Amino acid sequence: DGGITQSPKYLFRKEGQNVTLSCEQNLNHDAMYWYRQDPGQGLRLIYYSQIVNDFQKGDIAEGYSVSREKKESFPLTVTSAQKNPTAFYLCASSGGTGSSQPQHFGDGTRLSIL
């Protein structure tokens, strides 16, 4: 079945450490996204990529970095500059062009601070 795989499901970060969250999709979608979800805050966009080797900052990009070297992969690094990284992180993708395409989501990674 086609879908989006996020790993790991749970991740713990030590102070001063960078951690990388994995997101892989086999839907052949061009666009991919990273969201952060905090209780009562909805989803906030961190980064998005419309095509390989290109990505744009979302609303809360500070302290995060991404790469898009392959169409199917869009890893997110939470750097030590992100002072409040504890959250649920969701990866999504959408196909085709234009804003009418719905986004498909992975099952998320829950990041906590040790």
Partner 1 sequence: AQSVTQLDSQVPVFEEAPVELRCNYSSSVSVYLFWYVQYPNQGLQLLLKYLSGSTLVKGINGFEAEFNKSQTSFHLRKPSVHISDTAEYFCAVSDLRGGSNYKLTFGKGTLLTVNP
Q: Rule CB under 8 A: which residues touch partner 1?
A: 4, 6, 31, 33, 40-43, 45, 48, 50, 58, 90, 92, 94, 97-108, 110
Question: Considering beta carbons, is residue 48 or 64 the nearer one to partner 1?
Answer: 48
Spatial separation of the C-alpha atoms in residues 8 and 54, rounded to whole Å: 25
- Residue number, 17 or 86, with CB nearest to partner 1: 86
User: Residue 64 corresponds to which amino acid?
Assistant: Y
**In 10 A of CB 71, how many CB atoms?**
16
DSSP 3-state of 46: strand
Q: From the CB of 16, what's the least distance to partner 1, in Å?
A: 28
Nearer to partner 1, 60 or 79 (CB): 60
User: Is the distance from CB of 92 to CB of 50 less than 8 angstroms?
Assistant: no
